[in-house]
Amino acid sequence: MGGRAVLVTGASRGIGAAIAAAFARLGDRVAVHHRGSAALAREVLAGLPGSGHVIVRADLADPGAVREMVDLAAAGLGGLDVLVNNAGIYLAHPITEVSYEQWQQAWRQTLAVNLTGAANVTWCAVQYMRHTGGRIVNVTSRGAFRGEPSHPAYGASKAALNAFGQSMARALARYRIAVATVAPGYVDTDMAADHLDSARGAEIRAQSPFNRVATPEEIAAAVVYLASEQAEWASGAILDLNGASYLRSLPGERLEQVAERPGAHV
């Protein structure tokens, strides 16, 4: 079989569907994961160029289902070379506007999918990659750095996934597995449609000096690069993809101070 074996979680729509299509155009075989969107997953599968693609299903909050899903993906693809942890949920729960029970439920659900679920998928995938090498790319969020006042569990889960990816980059390099992360801002997807089509749409677009939000294909292009053979040295990196709408600085010091260091390159 030609190409690589690629598992993309949350691939039935939006960013995940674009990522699946981008890998398929390279000649890779893709496992399209979904939780409960079988019809959408079939549409994505039908639109993928090439052959050898499969659909797999699992609720990422269920550790047993995760392990079975990864095993089925590897069996259907003939191995596993690339994992993209893209799946995530985005539940609103402003701290002053929800009950204590609703607060706890939002945290349980969000962390179970966005963080623990991704960690469990990674563990299962590494059992296949550890003997052959591979690539893992995590999809997090600008909100991990900027904060998510109405979705605090989401922001926290994505910040933790950033840290998890960097831990795995150090742990897995000896197995020739590189791990990197992309952190998008707003992307023109179904998940963001309610916000982009609301009265806040113009303000959201104006957050970027380009006066727009990202396309799913732009995020997919970055993921494909980070999963490439040439990107091993990007292992541990977190790539901001937010159109300069939020710029991170080094903690505790100004750019001028960095520039004054001997041998600094800024």
pLDDT of res. 262: 53
Quote the crossing angle between the two packed helices 152-172 and 100-111, to the nearest 10°: 30
- pLDDT of the chain along its 266 residues, tens only? 679 999 999 999 999 999 999 999 999 999 999 999 999 999 999 999 999 999 999 999 999 999 999 999 999 999 999 999 999 999 999 999 999 999 999 999 999 999 999 999 999 999 999 999 999 999 999 999 999 999 999 999 999 999 999 999 999 999 999 999 999 999 998 878 888 888 899 999 999 999 999 999 999 999 999 999 999 999 999 999 999 999 997 666 554 554 455 554 44
Cα–Cα dist 115/141, whole Å? 13
The predicted pLDDT at position 250 comes to 66
pLDDT at 266 (0 to 100): 41
**One of 100, 128, 154, 225 is an active-site residue; which one?**
154
- Paired sense of beta strands 238-241 and 5-8, if any: unpaired
- Taking only the tens place, the pLDDT of each residue in 104-159 is 999 999 999 999 999 999 999 999 999 999 999 999 999 999 999 999 999 999 99
Q: Which residues are registered as beta bridge partners of 31?
A: 7, 54
Enclosing H/E stretch for 126: helix 118-129
Residue type, 213: V
Read off the DSSP letter of residue 130: T
Per 3-state DSSP, what percentage of the chain is helix, strand, and coil (rounded to 5)? 50, 15, 35
Can you give the pLDDT at residue 260?
54
pLDDT digits (tens, 9 = 90+) for 79-92: 999 999 999 999 99
The residues that bridge with 182 in the sheet, in sequence order, are 139, 239
C-beta separation of 9 from 16 below 8 A: yes
Please count the residues of the chain. Answer: 266
Catalytic residue check, 154: yes
The pLDDT of residue 194 is 81
Spatial CA neighbour of 216 closest among 20, 14, 56, 42:
14
The correct CATH number of 5-259 out of 3.20.140.10, 3.90.110.10, 3.40.50.2300, 3.40.50.720 is 3.40.50.720
Q: Is the pTM of this model over 0.75?
A: yes
Task: Determine which helix (DSSP H) or strand (DSSP E) holds 257, and give its type and residue range.
Answer: helix 255-259
Question: How high is the pLDDT of residue 137?
Answer: 99
Helix (H) or strand (E) run with residue 8 in it = strand 5-8
Which string of DSSP letters, residue by residue, matches 24-90?
Answer: HHTT-EEEEEESS-HHHHHHHHHH-SSS--EEEE--TT-HHHHHHHHHHHHHHHTS--EEEE-----
CA distance 48 to 20: 8
Q: How far apart are CA 169 and CA 164, in angstroms?
A: 9
